[in-house]
Amino acid sequence: MGPTSPTGPLLDARLLHRLEKLRMAAPRIARSAMSGERRSRARGQSTEFADHRAYVPGDDLRRLDWSLYGRLDRLYLRLFEEDRELRVLLFLDASESMNFGSPTKFQAASRLAAAIGHATLCGFDRVGLRVFPESNPQAGGTTKAPSDWRGRRATRRLQETLARLRPGGRSGFNEALRRGAFESKQAGAAVVLSDFLDPGGYEDGLSALTARGFRVEAIQVVCGEEIEPTAFGDLNLVDSETGARTEVTFSRQRMETYLKAWERHSAAFKSFCRARGIGCHQVTSETPVEDVLLRQFRTERFWA
């Protein structure tokens, strides 16, 4: 996985072609008012029967079920399921903490966002992108993205938007997700790409999405050095977002303490997600994006 380019595509044509056949394992019910290829609670004129309801004056007589009338001597209407599009909202963490690793966590997260967005748009669903923090001098003053895209022709604009972004600043994770949930007129699927290491936690933001009715997929992007550090000795640690410095002697004993703390954090994160029906995926930035998308995500049922 090479570095992202400010102008070039994030994904090669071969991978884009393979992604066109994939669909998110999103909820069966899609709530958008636009027509598409997802089954919806809306009752319309498709050919698949959904239910009956009692006739009331003014209903369309052409939808009366006369066979049911013959058995029950009561008038009922036939209701059919109508296909609607799914809106997939991508939340991308562009904070300074994502600018770590080789390739960086942000490079990996951006490519995954581009891939998921491409598969979604090729499936005639809608994609929204929310990048946080919105105010980011590394991204030309703001990382606030255009609202939504629809149609496979929009995949190029999505990739170009993602390729221009650069990480920087403090994430404000919970506030970004709360705002995204509040501003969404209709719930759909939400894919959150982050390292989930914000000092303020992740619980409030993810809970805001699930409370709004979103089906949430949490993709935790980390790098190998975070999972198992290799540096030892006297170290000067700098918080990438706050700039706070701490001098520590990182001994073998401290390594064991760190690894246990990381395991507790990972276990708590997975437990939180499982309890709320959130899909939980941990991805290392060093893993080729093709392996994540076509192997790991299939095993973890990210794709339908």
69-78 long-range contacts, CB within 8 A, separation 24+: 76/52, 77/52, 77/53, 78/49, 78/52
Q: How confident is the model at residue 33 (pLDDT cuts 50, 70, 90)?
A: very low
* pLDDT exceeds cutoff 60 at 240: no
Average pLDDT, the chain: 82
Whole-number Å distance between alpha carbons of 295 and 114:
17
Q: Structural domain boundaries of the chain?
A: 13-30+86-299, 41-84
Whole-number Å distance between alpha carbons of 190 and 177:
10
* pLDDT exceeds cutoff 90 at 178: yes
Q: What is the fold, at CATH topology level, of the domain defined by 13-30+86-299?
A: Rossmann fold (3.40.50)
Does a cis peptide bond (omega within 30 degrees of 0) precede residue 133? yes
E strand map for 4-57 = 38-44, 48-54
Whole-number Å distance between alpha carbons of 42 and 39:
9
* pLDDT exceeds cutoff 60 at 88: yes
Token duo for residue 301: 């049922």
> Which stretches within 224-278 are classed as H helix?
224-227, 252-275
**Residue keyed to tokens 């966590």:** 105
Single pTM value for the model: 0.77
Host H or E run for residue 210:
helix 203-212
E strand map for 195-243 = 215-222, 233-238
